[in-house]
Structure formats: structure tokens, C-alpha cells
Structure 1
């Protein structure tokens, strides 16, 4: 089932690139949760670096930023270090969370690119989906967070 605006997100706990457990149950502020297809691909690198470059603005807007894909901790750590990412990349290695959110595949095999803006109560406030335009995800997230203030 595909989650929509107004839905409560499923409870989850996943490891990040450093092996730390990140859980949805401890949200104290808004969360920008972006699902991306794969570490070290051109589109995903542009998107991840866009979130990196605007990270201070997300903090000012009262939000955490978490990326998520099915990569391993080792893959995520290499990707994060190479691109100097200062936010966690969560490991959803069996796509369990991706499936719980209902993030679609494109062309039947490419993992989708979807960004969710979630409030501190775990309710989805905004969803943006665009496989090819990674930078648009950053702009949409900022716009949505400004509306929440």
C-alpha cells in the first residue's frame, strides 16, 4: 500500500552508514526522509550533495535529513565519506521500509526516488516523487518545511 499525505509512517529502526540505529520512534523534529536508488550513481550523487549543501538550512527549518536506499553500511559509508555527507544514510537492504512506504519502481526494475516530509509526530506532510530530477527534491523539501512553520 502506498502511503499518502496525512498517513502515519510505519515504525522502523535501521542502521546508518556508521552502524548507529536510527529509529522513527524518537523523532523530536520534522524529518526529511529521501529514498534514492543507489549509492555512487550520478543522479543520486547530485541529490545527496544537494541535501548536503542545504543541510544548514534544513537545520534552521527544524528538520533532520535522512537518506535511505538498499545499500550496505559499507557502501553508504564510502558514499558518505566521498561526498562529505553530514547526515545519516539508512540501510534498507531488503527494501522492507521502501515497500512499507510504497515507493514505486520505475520501468519495473529501477528503485524510485521519493522524498517525504514527516512531522515530529510521524505524520507525512508532503511527498515529492521524481526519478530524474534529484535537485528538485531539495527545493520541494525546503518549500514544504517553510509551509509547516
Structure 2
């Protein structure tokens, strides 16, 4: 599985931990930045990762900022992105199974590295269930089409 990952300065440290964890597990990872803890703007990285996922260059994306809030809001402006801000394993699994989330957002100042790695593992291993959830995802897409044309 190919994973696009990105963060702002607030998420940089956690991003580096997640990258190494996923590389050790055999995932193909591309880091879309940032490359330091110097202050920067999260929308830039949300757009890079989101665009790569929407273009199907990557299977999924992971975004990290201080709280995960801003970067997830920015990512969700991209039609076709279903970015879920997650802080627990139950939600990580549910957002894949029920919402077919293709981007995961994490808050580095909210979840510690241990929990973040558990969340990432659960999220990457969960699959979309389809069925009754498919029509709901399609309704999300139709909202995008209505407002983004």
C-alpha cells in the first residue's frame, strides 16, 4: 500500500515516528513535508497529500498538525477527500468501515506516539464495508458535486 504523509511544524515529530513505523512494516511512504519544526502553514501540506490521494497516486494519506483540526478541515476542501480526525482506535476502524475515509488526520499535541501508532495500524488494516454505507458515501460525493461545480 502506498501512503502519502504530511504535516506542519506541530506534527513534524509525530510524522517522523509514524513514517519509520510504516516503513518498518513494509509500506511505501512518500513524505510531502514539512521537513523541520520551523513554523509553516498546514493547508499547503493538506493540499499536497489530498491531491495525491485524489489522483490515485497513493492509496491513502495521513496528515498531522498540532490538533489535527486545521489540517483535516483543509484536506476536506478537496473534492473526493474524506479526511477523518481521529483520537481513538474505535473511531479509526469505524471511519474506514463506514465512511471509507481515505485520509487520516491526527493531532500531535492531543495523542501521544504510542496511541497514534495504534490508530494508524487500525486505520490501515480496516476495510470499507460498503452495503448501506456505500449510499451514504455517495451522498457525500453528491454534496461535493453540487457545491464544487
Normalising by structure 2, we get a TM-score of 0.34
More helix by share: 2
More strand by share: 1
Normalising by structure 1, we get a TM-score of 0.34
